Amino acid sequence: MYLNIKNVVSIIFLSIVAGASWYWSRTGTVTTNMGEFPNNLRLGYYLSDAEIVRTKEDGQPLYKLWARRAEEQPSENRLFLSGVRVEYRPTEDIPWFLSAESGEAPTDESYIDLRGAVELLNEPQDQRDRTLVRTQALRFEPENLVASSEGSVSLFVGDRRLDAMGIRVYLRDERLELESEVHGQFDP
C-alpha cells in the first residue's frame, strides 16, 4: 500500500471521529447495580390499543375506555390519551358513547379532559330520537357520570339542532342542561 499525504490525513481523521463517537457514547451511560434504577430514569408506562374497564360494586362493567395510545407522565401525574372512545352502558337500552381525538387525565382518573372533535352520543334502541353533542373540549367525570363543557356546543336531537355556550350532561339520569346563548330552530 502506498502511503501518501491524503491517505495519512484520512486515517488520522477517521481515528479522531471513531474516538470522539466512543467517548460521547460513554458519557450518557449510567452504571447501576443489578435491580437498581438510575435516578434520572423516567418511570411510567405507555399502552397501545388500551382498554380500561371501570366496574360497579357487583363487578358488572360501568364504563369502558379505549385509547389508541395511553401514556403516563409520572413527573406530571398525568395520563395522556389519543384516539379516545368511552362507552357508558347502565342498561342495555340506553348506552352513551363518547369519542375524541385526544384526552388527558390525572393519574387518579377523577376526570378526563377530552379535546378535538368531541362527540357524545346517546342512541336508544327503541323509536326515540338519538341525542348527539358535538364540541371541541369536554370534561368527563367517571365517578359522577357527568360530562360538561364551557365552550361552544351543538346539540342534535333527531333532526333538530340547538347551539349553546356550555353544557352539562348527567349520563346516569339521561338529562342535560344547556348553559347560555341557546339558539335553535325547530320545524313544526
Q: Which residues pair with 67 in a beta bridge?
A: 50, 84
Q: Which residue has the higher pLDDT, 44 or 74?
A: 74
User: Could you write out the three-class secondary structure of the chain?
Assistant: CCCCHHHHHHHHHHHHHHHHHHHHHHHCCCCCCCCCCCCCCCCCCEEEEEEEEEECCCCCEEEEEEEEEEEEECCCCEEEEEEEEEEECCCCCCCEEEEEEEEEEECCCCCEEEEEEEEEEECCCCCCCCEEEEEEEEEEECCCCEEEEEEEEEEEECCEEEEEEEEEEECCCCEEEEEEEEEEECCC
> Given pLDDT bands bounded at 50, 70 and 90, which one contains residue 115?
very high
100 confidence band (pLDDT: 50, 70, 90) = very high
Domains observed in the chain: 46-185 (2.60.450.10)
Higher pLDDT, 48 or 5: 48
115 closest CA partner among 155, 87, 165, 149: 149
Cβ atoms of residues 55 and 32 within 8 Å: no
- What does pTM read for this prediction? 0.69
Show Cβ contacts of residue 30 under 8 Å, excluding neighbours closer than 6 positions.
38, 40, 41
pLDDT at 152 over 70: yes
State the cell numbers at 30: 449510567
Grid coordinates belonging to 42: 423516567
The reported pLDDT for the residue numbered 160 is 87
Distance CA 112, CA 140 (A): 5
**pLDDT grade for 15, boundaries at 50, 70 and 90:** confident
